Structure 1
């Protein structure tokens, strides 16, 4: 799954090395720190998704809640009017 925000891109996949966890790669180390501050961030060889963490599913769910809370819904009004 890919999640794009105004400040970063995130690639979420099943972790192959840690059972019950997900692998999250991003182009922004700062955003990974902001959403998953207590987890170790490692460098990858991927040029677009240079940083990676492997949170458990509960840590990922908590970060998703924060992301949803940050959505600026005022931008959707303009979009939905254009689609009508």
Structure 2
């Protein structure tokens, strides 16, 4: 799953290593550290994704909640959602 924010992109997938652990990749050191600072940061060898953390689903859920809380709903315009 890819999540795009105004400041960076995140790729979230099963780590394949530890049961219940997921891998989160990002192109932004600041944002991955801000949202997953309690997890150990790694340099990723995956093309297009410089940084990686392995974290639990609960930490991902907490980060997603924080992302939703930070949405500026004033940036949404009803005209964007009108059928063409």
Whether TM-score is above 0.5 comes out as yes
Structure 2 residue aligned with 1:81: 79
Distance 1:30 1:82 in 2: 31
Distance apart, 1:14 and its partner CA? 1.0
Q: How many residues align?
A: 82
Moved over 3 A (4+): none
Structure in which a larger fraction of residues adopt strand:
2
Q: Equivalent residue of 1:13, what SS?
A: strand
Structure 2 residue aligned with 1:52: 52
Distance apart, 1:83 and its partner CA? 4.0
* Residue 39, structure 1, aligned to residue 3, structure 2: no
Distance 1:41 1:82 in 2: 38
Structure 1 unmatched ranges of 5 or more: none
Structure 2 unmatched ranges of 5 or more: none
Distance apart, 1:40 and its partner CA? 0.8
Distance 1:82 1:13 in 2: 30
Distance apart, 1:74 and its partner CA? 1.1
- State the TM-score, normalized to the length of structure 1: 0.89
Pairwise CA RMSD of aligned residues? 1.1
